Each structure stands twice: as C-alpha cells, then as structure tokens.
Amino acid sequence: MIWGAAISAAQTESAADIGGKGPSIWDEFCQQKSGVFFKKPKVKRGDQLSDSADFYTHYKTDIDLLKKIGFKHFRFSISWPRVMPDGLNVNEEGLSFYKAVVDYCIEQDITPWVTLYHWDLPLALEKKGGWTNRDILEQFKNYSEVCVRALTKVRHWMVLNEPSVFLGAGYLFGIHAPGKKGFDAFFAATHHAMMSIGIVYRHLKEIDSSLQIGSSFSFTHIEAEDQTQRALRAAETADQLINRFFFEPIIGLGYPLENLSKLKQIKRFIKEGDEDQLKVDLDFIGIQTYTREVFKHNHFNPFLKIKLVPAKERSLDLTAMDWEIHPESLYHCIMKIHGYGLKTPLYVTENGAAFDDQMMFNRVHDTARIHYFQTHISEAIRAKQEGANLKGYFAWSLMDNFEWAEGYYPRFGLVHVDFKTKVRTLKDSAHWFRSFLGGGG
C-alpha cells in the first residue's frame, strides 16, 4: 500500500490573478449572489477563492510538511486557467510553477500524482458553453497534452476529479460553479465529461505509453431506510443516479437507463461512435468516499420517486459538513467496484472529514479526525484482505482549504492554516499519521 495526501489547485493556491492566471468559473461564482428579495452570496459568508492557503507561494513549505508527516505520495491538481488563461493559449509562467512543484516533490523523494481537472474550468470556455459544448472534448485534450509534454517527470495522472459532483452540483442543481440548472445542461455536460476520460486517456498514451493514467470517481454507499420493496427500490434508483451513471459508461456497460425514463434524454447528446469512445481500460481507478446516504420512497417526486433521509435526522455522529460518519461505507464502495471484476488497481484517492477545529495553545486536538482515519483505514484494509485490488490511500486533505460553496468554515486538513497569516500548524491527526506511517510521534 502506498500512502499519500491530496489537495486541489482551486482550493489551495490563492494567487487568483498572479502569474498570468485567467479567471475560472469558481472565481466568478464567488462573486455571485442568489435570492429574489434578500440577496445572499452563493458561497457562504461571501468567502473568496483567492483567500485560501496560498499554496502558490508556500508550496515548498507544504511539501516539507507532507514529508515530515511521512507521506511519500502527493496528489495535487493543475489549474487549467493558470496554464491556459483563455482555455486555449499557453501561459508559460503558469507551466513553470507546476514544473517547480514537481521538481521539488522529486527532490524531496515525493511521488507526484497529478489531476488534470479538479473543477476550475477557465471562465472563457464556460462563456462558450463549457462542458455543455462538444468543443470541450478537443479543448480538454489539447490542454492535457500541454500538461503532459511539459511535466515529463510526472508518471501518474488522473483525468477528472469526481465527475458526478461537479456535473450534478454545477450543471443540474446550480449550487456549485458554473451555477447552471436543468436537465439539458446536465445531460450534455455529463456526456462530454464522461467521453473526455477515454479521449484523453488514449491521446496521452499515444504520447507516452508508459504513463499511468486513471481517473477518480465519487462513490457513496447507499442504503434503504427499511426493507420494504418501495424503500429498496428507492435505494437502487439512488445508486443508479449517484454512482452507476458516472462509472458504468467507462467500463463498457453504457449509461444505466433502466426504470428511469428521464435519464434516457441523454441519448439526444450521443452521436454515432460515442459509445466506443466512452469505454476505456484505465490503468487505475480512484475511489473517493466520505459517507453513507439513506433513501426512502417519495410519492411526490414524479421523476424519481425517492427521498433522501438527512443524516442529521438519523445520526448524531456527524462531521462539520453534516455528513454521517460511517466507516463501513468505504469498505462497501471498494467492494462494489471490486465486484465489477475489472482487475484494475484501485486507489482511495480521497477520504477524510471536516470538523470545527479550534487552535488552543498552538495545537489542534482533532481527536474525532484521528478516529475517523483509524476506522476508515481499517475498513479499506478489510476490503484489501477480502480480495480487492487496493494499492493505496490518499488522505483528504493535506491542509485546510476552500471547501467550495461551504467556504472556509469546514476544515478537512491534517495541517491547520490561519487564512489571514497563512501560518501552518500540524494538527494532532498529522502527528497520528506520522506515527502510523512509522515516523514516530
């Protein structure tokens, strides 16, 4: 098993308009407000992306802390608008930054794992339709080639981060950037994003067949509220929507459209030959799991007939995101992917918890997070012992960051960040990991 920690560019870099970077959809989303009579920011408290951890300036410090904790693998992402401000033309200063990050990782004996797209689409491309515009397939392929040709020392690449989340939240419900709502935008964006995984994989393999290329997927363990047929059917429908719809196309099973006529509308965006493009034999699959969701039958939903039972109505064991702490969920999700019989290496590329961490006498006693990691890692190891081809685990996240629409209140980090001074402090969970990884207390 390899052990690492993860971050993303948008959530940690700051430097929103430094080094030639162009605006992203999240830079714009942070400025927006919603509401008819009482306007309120779309990001809680009006928090701004640019006020995050400033990894752009502190990357050496952060990689040193990663090494001090004992991790030998570092997952981070590239900001598309930093490398290509308009989504099309290269900004050499942006590329130079990532070359420096990679070089410093290798100098410190840290293996870089790089994600090409972690949600920060160039705003210029969004104004042309973003993921809803089929042109994105060629644009994303070209961007990916620029990154791989420039960062030749990187051997492990991930194409997309959690397509189900950025597509559902950003193009269906409008609660994440770019804030679009409606099934047309959602289906178009989903099909193009899912196709891009195979297109980029094959293109990068033509450039260098020795690269290890995968993609990460969000999986949620789904259960029924009770054992009635209606509740069980609701859970199956939720699994179809939340998990299978964003994974099965790439393994050659196509979009799961059974029993849900609404989903069949995605066929309007599928062209001849697309299904062959969707299927791809990735070198590895990234599994990202945080919690369990429980569903019941809903008479009043004409399309889906399902209703989520909120975690706070059925559990007291919650994170700062109001997510239920349910360690077995990680085991079940790993075994679910193992059950497809793919033989593909699996990595937990994100797993962690946010809490209301408080600094006391220059320490953060995050006992709940330590317990979270202990129990979830145990469940991951259980899956491995039962036959899953699990090869590694990445904690989310290395440091506190911008948690999308939730802003800066939820803290996921092993390293506490004072967002005003940018001072870093190892939390107790970081010290626990150091001991767990064999580095002492």
Q: pLDDT tens for residues 145-168?
A: 999 999 999 999 999 999 999 999
How many domains does the chain divide into? 1
CA distance 49 to 60: 21
| DSSP conformation class of 247 | T
Task: Answer yes or no: is 441 within a domain.
Answer: no
Distance CA 128, CA 341 (A): 40
Q: Give the residue numbers annotated as catalytic, written as ranges.
A: 162, 350
| CA–CA distance, 11 with 251 (Å, rounded to integer) | 30
Q: What is the pLDDT of residue 34?
A: 86
pLDDT band (50, 70, 90) for residue 439: confident
CATH number, domain of 270, equals 3.20.20.80
The reported pLDDT for the residue numbered 247 is 98
Domain that holds residue 327: 2-436
| 338 lies in some domain | yes
Q: Is residue 239 part of a domain?
A: yes
**Rounded CA separation 73/417 (Å):** 21
The sign of the CA dihedral 176, 177, 180, 186 is negative
Q: pLDDT at position 20, please?
A: 97
Q: What is the mean pLDDT of residues 184-213?
A: 98
- Is it the case that residue 440 has pLDDT exceeding 60? no
pLDDT higher than threshold 80 for residue 302 = no
Question: Strand, coil or helix: what is 113?
Answer: strand
For residue 382, give the H/E element and its range: helix 367-385
- Which residues have C-beta within 8 Å of that of residue 297, sequence separation ≥ 6? 228, 230, 231, 233, 234, 305, 306, 307
- The whole-number pLDDT of residue 130 equals 98
| pLDDT mean across residues, the chain | 96
Q: Is the pLDDT of residue 441 over 70?
A: no
- The token duo for 224 is 């029924």
Amino acid in the structure at residue 103: D
248 falls within a domain: yes
